RNA sequence: GCCCCUGUAGCCAAGGCCGGCAAGGCAUCGGACUUUUAAUCCGCAGACCGUGGGUUCGAAUCCCACCGGGGGCACCA
């Protein structure tokens, strides 16, 4: 008799369901292969028909295999029939195909590997409640088609990016997550406290300033692929903790970063899905390089149907014209904004979400780009771009500002905004300025939102579908439903 | 923080406007069945209708508050 409590300490499957299907493709219905196999996985379905029992085993290999258990062959037949949907089972026996043509393992021996003491979700409807899907991902991964696939795509894409960067001579590094001064992005940080040092730390909002210190230190091609944290609202595109690829390349500028963005995205897509064509909702989108390159001025002008000036201080005629246009489009502006700043606001509010095909939106106002170098030929603008696809920002990059004096001025401007109530404005990082004063060569830097990229590759509408355990409000019992 | 939608058995879900014993299906449990594919057939059981208050002879249903989830806004790359 099989005692349900008698769980083995180890088990050795000899083959996966996927491999069985591949190996026995030519086995005819009603035929036996003469080959034995041992499989293990979770029982997803069970059909008892008197002296015959069928089970469907999912072994997470991307396929499923039927267990064929005749009473005359299967030991402890009654107990086998009593298995629950959701139980983990190991079974071995001859590989055969039933009369109806289903490839099966005839159960000549079997072990219960773990019992599911909770009823497994409905085999037909699955989990309809998205809340439960995210809170109990361990169930969702088995039950919801596509969930596991999304994370396989994620894994493959990330591996491809690492491989691509390694091939280009980039060094992967890890910089602090606990920052004494939050910096590198305009974002509100999480605050935490170190007891022994008795001081507050901020969870990093970007690794940027540390990575550029490394360029100063001679790591001329560096990248970090890791989690960053921003204390902001949640949305289908925003998670409080998310994964960012940041890389810096000495002697390069933002044009080089465009090529790199295209190449990395295409490599990730090809490795993960076999194609650079992705499907998002009803529409498809092609990540094949090169992507469209357009300036923010061009895009906004295109969208509004009139030429808008990018140059001009807050009191200029240009700014006044832009302000009127913003009002016409229902975009709120503030008194002190330059023409370029107003342009950027219109872009963010009205244009970005309309850009479907991959596009490099180039040349942002200097005021909103405190770490980017001034444009070599356009006044008031910085050499910065954002890559947008499916109406969502995918990457942000610039030719890095290397001059310590100008960087100090930019920090000062941020401090000024901070004092007038902008809690996301940056604070001056003296050590970073010191690093710059040792000399930062011309450098291109790129930040690529990994979750956003994976969303594209999976066709996911929400970032929660590409994060295994997305941030949710904790429940009283932390997840029970 | 604000607005809209939403919460009925382990799972899927009807009912809600117009108050009157809380449908049905899957799973569980018992029975039949040696080639099933959401197996089928028969039977049993399972619900403080998200929580608390109010209106009413009577509330899943109407009202208020709170809690969870989704979407939008705000915030934000």
List, in order, residues 6 or more apart from A22 with CB less than 8 Å away. none
Q: What integer pLDDT is reported at residue A305 of this predicted model?
A: 82
Q: Please, which positions of strand B sit below 7 A from a protein CB?
A: 1, 10-13, 25-29, 32-40, 67-77
Mean pLDDT along residues A18-39: 94
In chain A, DSSP finds a helix count (H) and a strand count (E) of: 13, 19
User: What is the spatial distance, in angstroms and rounded to an integer, between the CA atom of A53 and the C1' atom of B34?
Assistant: 9
- Decide if pLDDT at A481 tops 50: no
Which residue, chain included where needed, has tokens 């037949």?
A77
User: What is the spatial distance, in angstroms and rounded to an integer, between the CA atom of A67 and the C1' atom of B37?
Assistant: 12
* φ, ψ (nearest 5 deg) of residue A178: -95, 110
Nucleotide nearest to A361 (CA to C1'): B77
Proximity of residue A125 CB to strand B below 7 A: yes
DSSP string for A401-422: P--HHHHHHHHHHHHHHHHTT-
- Decide if pLDDT at A95 tops 90: yes
Q: What integer pLDDT is reported at residue A321 of this predicted model?
A: 83
- Decide if pLDDT at A72 tops 50: yes
Proximity of residue A45 CB to strand B below 7 A: yes
User: What is the spatial distance, in angstroms and rounded to an integer, between the CA atom of A311 and the C1' atom of B27?
Assistant: 67
- Decide if pLDDT at A474 tops 70: no
Q: What is the pLDDT of residues A365-386, one digit of tens each?
A: 898 899 999 999 988 899 999 9
The torsion region of residue A372 among left (phi > 0), alpha (psi -120 to 50) and beta comes to beta
Of the listed ranges A189-193, A312-316, A456-460, the least confidently predicted one is A312-316
Contact A91, A77 (CB under 8 A): no
Q: Which residue has the higher pLDDT, A478 or A462?
A: A462
Which residue, chain included where needed, has tokens 């909770």?
A118
Name the closest residue (CA) to the C1' of nucleotide B29.
Answer: A82
Q: What integer pLDDT is reported at residue A252 of this predicted model?
A: 97
Proximity of residue A98 CB to strand B below 7 A: yes
Contact A118, A108 (CB under 8 A): no
Proximity of residue A29 CB to strand B below 7 A: no
Q: How confident is the model at residue A338 (pLDDT cuts 50, 70, 90)?
A: confident
**How many residues are given for chain A?**
481
Name the closest residue (CA) to the C1' of nucleotide B67.
Answer: A475
pTM for the model stands at 0.90
Q: How far is CA A16 from CA A39, A44, A102, A398, in A?
A: 6, 16, 16, 47
Determine what percent of chain A is predicted with pLDDT higher than 70. Answer: 96
The torsion region of residue A390 among left (phi > 0), alpha (psi -120 to 50) and beta comes to left
Proximity of residue A56 CB to strand B below 7 A: yes
């Amino acid at each position: 008799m099989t005692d349900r409590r008698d769980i083995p300490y180890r088990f050795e499957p000899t083959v996966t369901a996927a491999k069985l299907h591949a190996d026995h493709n030519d086995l005819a219905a009603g035929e036996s292969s003469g080959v034995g196999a041992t499989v293990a996985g979770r029982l997803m379905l069970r059909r008892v028909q008197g002296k015959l029992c069928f089970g469907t085993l999912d072994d997470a290999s991307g396929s499923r295999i039927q267990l064929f258990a005749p009473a005359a062959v299967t030991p402890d037949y009654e107990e086998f029939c009593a298995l629950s949907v959701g139980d983990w089972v190991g079974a071995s026996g001859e590989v055969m195909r039933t009369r109806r043509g289903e490839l099966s393992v005839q159960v000549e021996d079997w072990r219960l590997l773990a019992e599911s003491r909770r009823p497994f979700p409905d085999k037909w409807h699955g989990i309809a409640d998205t809340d439960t899907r995210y809170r109990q991902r361990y169930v969702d991964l088995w039950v919801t088609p596509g969930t596991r696939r999304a994370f396989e795509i994620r894994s493959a894409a990330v591996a491809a990016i690492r491989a691509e960067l390694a091939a280009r001579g980039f060094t992967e590094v890890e910089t602090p997550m606990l920052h004494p001064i939050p910096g590198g992005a305009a974002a509100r940080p999480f605050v935490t406290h170190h007891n022994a040092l008795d001081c507050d730390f901020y969870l990093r909002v970007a690794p940027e300033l540390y990575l550029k210190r490394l360029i100063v230190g001679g790591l001329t091609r560096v990248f970090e692929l890791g989690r960053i944290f921003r204390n902001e609202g949640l949305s289908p595109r925003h998670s409080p903790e998310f994964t960012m690829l940041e890389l810096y390349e000495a002697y390069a500028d933002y044009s080089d970063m465009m090529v790199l963005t295209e190449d990395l995205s295409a490599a990730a897509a090809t490795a993960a899905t076999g194609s650079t064509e992705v499907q998002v909702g009803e529409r498809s989108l092609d990540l094949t390089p090169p992507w469209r390159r357009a300036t923010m001025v061009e895009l906004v002008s295109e969208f509004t149907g009139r030429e808008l000036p990018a140059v001009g201080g807050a009191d200029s005629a240009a700014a006044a014209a832009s302000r009127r246009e913003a009002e016409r489009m229902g975009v709120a502006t503030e008194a002190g904004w330059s023409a370029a700043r107003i342009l950027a606001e219109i872009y963010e509010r009205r244009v970005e979400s309309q850009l479907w095909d991959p596009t490099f939106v180039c040349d942002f106002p200097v005021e909103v780009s405190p770490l980017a170098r001034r444009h070599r030929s356009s006044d008031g603008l910085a050499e910065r771009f954002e890559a947008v696809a499916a109406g969502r920002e995918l990457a942000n990059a610039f030719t890095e500002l290397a001059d310590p004096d100008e960087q100090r001025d930019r920090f000062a401007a941020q401090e000024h905004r901070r004092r007038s109530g902008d809690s996301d404005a940056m604070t001056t990082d003296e050590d970073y300025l010191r690093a710059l004063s040792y000399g930062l060569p011309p450098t291109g830097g790129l930040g690529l939102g990994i979750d956003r990229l994976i969303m594209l590759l999976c066709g996911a509408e929400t970032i929660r579908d590409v994060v295994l355990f997305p941030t949710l409000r904790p429940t009283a019992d932390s997840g029970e439903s």
